[in-house]
Structure 1
């Protein structure tokens, strides 16, 4: 019987001409240890709206509405935009695509979800909240109070807003403000616990507490105010730095996978563990990721979905 597997949606570095557009790859089998890029490694989805680029894609399966939703950062650094502008006056919206089959997509749509005082809207991710009966969309923003000169920088906070249709969004609010940069938060649910992964600086730059790796915490819900650390500095020792975590459970059970983006260097690196509560992540150095793959997301697929994507003729990009 044919097996299911994983879809990886990702982008490449900004120094690649079309690197900040979105690519797909399918796992070679049921685990994410090796991959085959689709469309010959060329972009599957592109954006000509807003900043005319897409980074940090995140795929969700919206079962209630029978569709897939893709969220991405509206940003293109390779066109000459510098990071200072991007964090102060850029990325003022996210990009949304929708599909019923993962092959034919509607979009790109720009959605303003951050408050006016946000200098950027980065790395949106969505998770279903049964308590709210809505999707909670999380992203990172630097906030600048009205009237404040944005010459000086501001640290990144995690923000959140609710939606039911990815067309209209509730009032944004600060989800997590640690007084230092926290970006790229994503979640794994296991039983009644939620594991939150983030690129969390954990202290001022150049201080002994400053981290360039990933943090995992555990809580009882997406909005638990008291997440507790499980693993600090995931990837340290085998990576110089990391951001953009993407996480997924092995369909066979008993194992989890984590992709960590060694940005500016090797791109995605794969880790695995067999007990989330222990936080012991093993680097799979022999994993074969798509060349240059950066900060994206993993989506588990059925065998039929895998076959449909393998045979697709791409016309969106």
Structure 2
């Protein structure tokens, strides 16, 4: 009896998976999905934070990390073009949010066109947050068929408190236009970067490897996805890493499993993702947090 009860309590206290989301045209705000197994996702069917910062005041590509401080830190794309920064807010329960702030990470680059898809990563080796994003600075880099205003590279900043930030630096120049990058830690001194090759006609997903969260990343792979795919996020479920991404060419959200980021297997038949879900990232939250979200939704 005690063993059964202990197992029950352990199951109840286990964290659940959350998936940030938005719906086009991205002017409503933050949506959230949840899952027990990282394969089958449920939509809470409510907007939890309406964007108020940035030129266009949209919320695209929301990325959340639960920090060692217990807070959920959120960053997002707040304009397609014209902004030199991204949006930021924090919450202890995903319901009550701090005042939104615009973080002008590229203000020192007068010709920067945009700041796209900021992605949060907590580096437990250096005890700091790393934020990466894509920016175009025309005539700065070599390019292929890309227009100068669509020739992106990945930049980064670090922070420990989301009040002061290091000066933005180049994070990745793989020799081609690149966007939508996400950092994955496998072991100490063993990191993977999943990224989108944004060149024409490629527009597909690749991986690179590093010994530190901030790189340098090397050995960029061949593509493991089809054309017109973007917005990857990665979660480890048992022994597999699941890579979710937007296959916008055929208007589907898809998933691929890998154990080593060298061999990849499509698992679309094993996952279920609510219709309308767009580019987000996966993180963990307690069941108490999920209960609070569900109570709010049911009350409304």
TM-score of the superposed pair, with normalisation by structure 2: 0.83
Aligned CA-pair RMSD = 2.6
The corresponding residue for 1:243 is: 230
Match of 2:50 among 42, 46, 60: 46
Query: Does 1:104 find its partner at 2:115?
Result: no
Distance change (3 Å), C-alpha of 1:191 and 1:304: same
Q: 1:196 aligns with which of 193, 197, 201?
A: 193
Partner Cα distance (1:66, 1:287) in 2: 29
Pair 1:299–1:152, CA change in 2 (3 A): closer
Equivalent in the alignment of 1:80:
none
**1:284 counterpart = 2:268:** yes
Higher mean Cα deviation, 175-184 or 277-286? 277-286
- Does residue 1:223 correspond to 2:214, yes or no? yes
Matched, 1:91 2:83: yes
Alpha-carbon contact 1:103-1:314 (below 8 Å) kept: no
Q: 1:25-52: per-residue Cα shift (whole Å, max 9, x none)?
A: 112xx212222211xx232211133221
**3-state SS in 2 of match to 1:57:** strand
Aligned residue number for residue 3 of structure 2 = none
| Structure-2 separation of matches of 1:234 and 1:284 | 14
Q: Which runs of 4+ in 1 moved over 4 A?
A: none
Structure 1 partner of 2:200: 205
Unaligned runs of 5+ in 2: 1-7, 141-146
Could you tell me which runs of 5 or more consecutive residues in structure 1 were left unpaired when the two chains were aligned: 78-85
Aligned counterpart, 1:9: 20
1:116-146 CA distance string (max 9 Å, x none): 3321111111223355432121111001479
CA contact (8 A) 1:6 1:26 kept: yes
Match of 1:57 in 2: 62
| 1:34 lines up with 2:28 in the alignment | no
CA contact (8 A) 1:267 1:294 kept: no
Q: 1:260 aligns with which of 229, 245, 253?
A: 245
Q: Check conservation: 2:230, 2:246, Cα contact below 8 A.
A: yes
Give the alignment's TM-score, normalised by structure 1: 0.79
Instruction: Tell whether 2:109 aligns with 1:116.
Output: yes
Seen in structure 2, the aligned counterparts of structure 1 residues 263 and 25 have a Cα distance that, compared at 3 Å, is same
How many aligned residue pairs are there? Answer: 279
Instruction: Describe the superposition over 1:8-41 as per-residue Cα deviations: whole angstroms up to 9, x where unpaired.
Output: 1111222xxx6552211112xx212222211xx2
Closer/same/farther in 2, CA of residues 145 and 241 from structure 1, 3 Å limit? closer
The 5 Å alignment of 1:294-305 reads 294-305=278-289
Q: Which residue of 1 aligns with 2:33?
A: 25
